[in-house]
């Protein structure tokens, strides 16, 4: 049987990296079946085109994965495929939280023939076999233990994902029209991929708005260090052979959740010379450990994603995240910056103690820290989270099924101390100010003592991150962006060329000196 695994586009921006679930399930598929992957974010297809593709390829089963945010699009795709008689199984966080919706058992239309609840590592092969035999069931669920909890995959052993041979072309981050020019810069800058790797699953912290503790459970599981390192080494080899740039996103929800284990992993990465530039999610409370931060730097860590959420401790208490202390944020970021590691700092507006002006207050504070890449979202009640239950009970959900009428940056519930429109305005202001050409220039100047490659990386990341809020999909949008930011671009290019010429001259002198004379 031929299987298509499909990820719907998120309707906002291009994905900067492939989704791991597709590659993982592909690796777990019994060998007699063929799996094709299409990520709608990277390869845009209309619904009729997708249906035609499935007919032409004689696809027997389509697996669709989706976060809540893009589930309405996922349903539309599933509906079109099912109308054409193609079987659809859906999985991922949203359908796990709302299986009745996907199966049409909540009074709405049916979208999927089957749903895979929870982690599908151990149920996927059953789904495939049943689909091939024409006996697909409605619900696939992991086995449960004596207490009725899902038995979680141990991640040992971990499936082999053949990153070294997979076609990643559609995920290159360099826009097409810039590839020619960038590849002349040397070191393979014409191709740049970010590859997702997980080293473990689960987070016990239980922040009120988060689905992770409910979905992956509070029991944490890790892969072996050897298996992670083997994957890194294969990627490193590929980057070298293709003269491309490969970076890794460790997608664990909290990479340092067990600091002892992480330190061991980082030491092993260093010992195996398996460093690649990487980014990971780590909560602020775990980053005060100097030894850990040193190891992160030595093991290739370049960026750390920190869910800071709010600078107001009252808000942190409201969402059960008091372990993360706003008063410590500056020290954490400064400590990282001393090692040329920068942070992607994530903030949420529309929390219960937020009032008009929260964007200004937050950005003023952010700008007093070492520069990072702030991102701003709004408090969103995802189904099955404690936050959803609290707001529902309080009758505060303005759009209880917000995912079926997705509207970017429009809150689904009424914040306590401002309006939904004001929350949108605040979010917009925070993005606009944080990625204005003036701020970009200021941020680059603030790290003027960092090596030139670090500063270039920082600026490039800023230009890409701006696109999360301000879509920059077209050539003209990119040209405008580059023009508006010409000050730091020209300054860094000039300095970069000077450094490169000096390095080349020094290399030449050294090699001439090394030539034996008679
Ligand atoms: C990496 C990541 C991202 C990446 C993008 C995704 C990518 N390219 O990988 C980035 C950083 C961009 C991102 C952004 C966002 N993310 Co995110 N992200 C994650 C993260 C940390 C890892 C995802 C992952 O690969 N997990 C590992 C794989 C193995 O797990 P999995 O995807 O769940 O897949 C398993 C099962 O679900 C199942 N499965 C999944 N799909 C399918 C499909 C089929 C057919 C089957 C059978 C099974 C199946 O099988 C897999 C193996 O067991 C998760 C948290 C987490 N730990 O999962 C959050 C998470 C998915 N993100 C979340 C959110 C909310 C967001 C944002 C909306 C945040 C924001 N406010 O901006 C944005 C939206 C992005 C966008 N524009 O669409 C939520 C989603 C909750 C929900 N109910 O939808 C999660 C769960 C985190 C959370 N705090 O709750 N994210
Ligand atoms: S620390 Fe992160 S992953 Fe863990 S519960 Fe809180 S938000 Fe979710």
Is residue 280 in contact with ligand 1, taking CB distance under 6 Å?
no
pLDDT of residue 239: 86
CA distance 343 to 469: 18
Query: Is the distance from CB of 321 to CB of 309 less than 8 angstroms?
Result: yes
Residues in CB range of 373: below 8 A, 6 or more apart: 303, 342, 343, 344, 345, 461, 462, 465
Ligand having the closest approach to the CA of 116: 1
pLDDT of residue 456: 92
Ligand having the closest approach to the CA of 78: 1
CA distance 188 to 140: 44
Say which DSSP state 412 is in. Answer: S
Is residue 307 in contact with ligand 2, taking CB distance under 6 Å?
yes
Is residue 205 in contact with ligand 2, taking CB distance under 6 Å?
yes
Say which DSSP state 218 is in. Answer: S
pLDDT of residue 178: 56
Q: Which helix (H) or strand (E) holds 279?
A: strand 278-281
Pairing between β-strand 221-222 and β-strand 200-201 as defined by DSSP bridges = antiparallel
Q: Which helix (H) or strand (E) holds 486?
A: helix 486-514
Ligand having the closest approach to the CA of 307: 2
Q: Which of 204, 253, 304, 320 to mutate to test the pocket of ligand 2 (most atoms within 8 A of CB)?
A: 253
Kindly give the number of the ligand 1 atom that is closest to the alpha carbon of 68. 84
Whole-prediction pTM: 0.93
Ligand having the closest approach to the CA of 286: 2
CA distance 367 to 354: 19
Is residue 211 in contact with ligand 1, taking CB distance under 6 Å?
yes
Q: Which of 307, 315, 324 to mutate to test the pocket of ligand 2 (most atoms within 8 A of CB)?
A: 307
Across 303-338, b (16+ Cβ under 10 Å) vs e yields bbbbbbbbbbeebbebbebeebebeebeebbebbbe
DSSP codes of every residue in 54-94:
HHHTTEEEEEEE--GGGHHHHHHHHHHHHHTT--EEEESHH
Spatial CA neighbour of 270 closest among 302, 231, 299: 299
Query: Is the distance from CB of 321 to CB of 213 less than 8 angstroms?
Result: no
Is residue 93 in contact with ligand 1, taking CB distance under 6 Å?
yes
CA distance 256 to 210: 18
Is residue 202 in contact with ligand 1, taking CB distance under 6 Å?
no
pLDDT of residue 518: 42
Long-range contacts of 392-395 (CB under 8 A, 24+ apart): none
Is residue 203 in contact with ligand 2, taking CB distance under 6 Å?
yes
In the chain, what is the straight-line distance between the N-terminal and C-terminal CA atoms, in Å?
Answer: 71
Q: Specify the 3-state DSSP secondary structure of 272.
A: coil
CA distance 96 to 165: 32
**Residue whose token pair is 């002892």:** 260
pLDDT of residue 466: 78
Give 212 Cα–ligand 2 centroid separation in angstroms: 7
**Predicted confidence pLDDT, tens digits, the chain (518 residues):** 999 999 998 766 566 688 999 999 999 999 999 999 998 888 889 999 999 999 999 999 999 999 999 999 999 999 999 999 999 999 999 999 999 999 999 999 999 999 999 999 999 999 999 999 999 999 999 999 888 888 999 999 999 999 888 877 766 655 555 555 555 554 455 567 889 999 999 999 999 999 998 899 777 999 999 999 999 999 999 888 877 788 999 999 999 999 999 999 999 999 999 999 999 999 999 999 999 999 999 999 999 999 999 999 999 999 999 999 999 999 999 999 999 999 999 999 999 999 999 999 999 999 999 999 999 999 999 999 999 999 999 999 999 999 999 888 999 999 999 999 999 999 999 999 999 999 999 999 999 999 999 999 899 889 888 777 776 667 888 888 899 999 999 999 999 888 888 877 887 777 666 555 44
Long-range contacts of 325-330 (CB under 8 A, 24+ apart): 325/284, 325/285, 328/284, 328/285, 328/288, 329/284, 329/369, 330/368, 330/369
Q: Whose CA is nearest to atom 2 of ligand 2?
A: 253
Spatial CA neighbour of 20 closest among 155, 127, 135, 177: 155
**Residue whose token pair is 């992607």:** 344
pLDDT of residue 13: 58
CA distance 291 to 335: 11
Say which DSSP state 134 is in. Answer: T
Query: Is the distance from CB of 365 to CB of 427 less than 8 angstroms?
Result: no
Q: Whose CA is nearest to atom 6 of ligand 2?
A: 207
CA distance 403 to 407: 8
**Residue whose token pair is 């970017």:** 408
Which phi-psi region, left, alpha or beta, contains residue 395 (left: φ > 0; alpha: ψ -120 to 50)? left
Is residue 427 in contact with ligand 1, taking CB distance under 6 Å?
no
Give 67 Cα–ligand 1 centroid separation in angstroms: 6
Is residue 251 in contact with ligand 2, taking CB distance under 6 Å?
no
Give 119 Cα–ligand 2 centroid separation in angstroms: 18
Give 209 Cα–ligand 2 centroid separation in angstroms: 9
Tell me the C-alpha to C-alpha distance, in Å, between residue 14 and each of 10, 20, 71, 171, 426: 8, 16, 17, 9, 24
Q: Phi/psi of residue 489, each to 5°?
A: -65, -50
Is residue 206 in contact with ligand 2, taking CB distance under 6 Å?
yes
């Amino acid at each position: 049987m031929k299987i298509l695994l499909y990820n719907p586009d998120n309707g906002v921006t291009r994905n900067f990296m492939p989704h791991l679930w597709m590659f993982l399930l592909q690796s777990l598929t019994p060998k007699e079946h063929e799996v094709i992957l299409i990520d709608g974010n990277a390869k845009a297809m209309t619904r009729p085109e997708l249906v035609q593709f499935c007919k032409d390829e004689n696809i027997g089963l389509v697996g669709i994965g989706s976060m809540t945010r893009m589930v309405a699009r996922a349903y539309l795709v599933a509906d079109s495929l099912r109308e054409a008689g193609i079987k659809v199984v859906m999985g991922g966080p949203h359908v796990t939280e709302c299986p009745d919706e996907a199966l049409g058992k909540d009074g709405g239309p049916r979208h999927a023939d089957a749903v895979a609840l929870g982690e599908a590592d151990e149920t996927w092969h059953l789904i495939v076999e049943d689909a091939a035999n024409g006996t697909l069931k409605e619900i696939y669920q992991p086995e449960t233990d004596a207490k009725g909890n899902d038995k979680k995959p141990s991640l040992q052993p971990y499936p082999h994902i053949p990153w070294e041979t997979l076609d990643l072309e559609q995920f290159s981050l360099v826009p097409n029209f810039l590839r020619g020019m960038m590849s002349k810069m040397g070191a393979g800058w014409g191709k740049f991929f970010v590859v997702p790797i997980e080293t473990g699953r689960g987070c016990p912290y239980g922040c009120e708005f988060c689905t992770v503790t409910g979905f992956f459970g509070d029991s944490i599981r890790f892969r072996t260090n050897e298996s992670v390192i083997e994957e890194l080494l294969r990627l490193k080899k590929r980057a070298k052979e293709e003269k491309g740039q490969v970076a890794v996103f460790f997608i664990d929800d909290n990479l340092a959740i067990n600091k002892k284990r992480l330190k061991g992993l980082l030491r092993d990465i260093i010992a195996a010379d398996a460093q690649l530039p990487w980014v990971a999610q780590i909560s602020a409370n775990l980053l005060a450990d100097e030894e850990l931060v040193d190891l992160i730097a030595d093991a290739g860590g370049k960026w750390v994603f920190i869910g800071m959420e709010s600078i107001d401790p009252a808000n942190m208490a409201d969402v059960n995240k008091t372990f993360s202390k706003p008063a410590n944020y500056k020290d954490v970021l400064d400590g990282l910056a001393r090692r040329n590691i920068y942070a992607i700092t994530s903030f949420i507006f529309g929390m219960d103690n937020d009032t008009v002006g929260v964007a200004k207050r937050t950005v003023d504070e952010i700008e007093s820290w070492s520069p990072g890449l702030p991102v701003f979202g709004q408090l969103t009640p995802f189904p099955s989270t404690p936050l959803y239950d609290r707001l529902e009970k309080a009758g505060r959900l303005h759009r209880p099924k917000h995912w079926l009428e997705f509207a970017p940056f429009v809150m689904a519930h009424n914040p306590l101390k401002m309006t939904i429109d004001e929350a949108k305005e605040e979010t917009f202001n925070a993005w606009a100010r944080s990625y204005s050409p003036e701020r970009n220039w200021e941020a680059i100047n603030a790290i003027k003592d960092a090596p030139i490659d670090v500063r270039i990386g920082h600026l490039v990341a800023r230009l890409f991150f701006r696109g999360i809020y301000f879509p920059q999909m077209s050539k003209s949008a990119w040209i405008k962006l580059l023009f508006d930011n010409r000050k730091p671009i020209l300054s860094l290019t000039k300095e970069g060329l000077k450094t490169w010429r000096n390095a080349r001259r020094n290399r030449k002198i050294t090699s001439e000196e090394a030539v034996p004379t008679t």
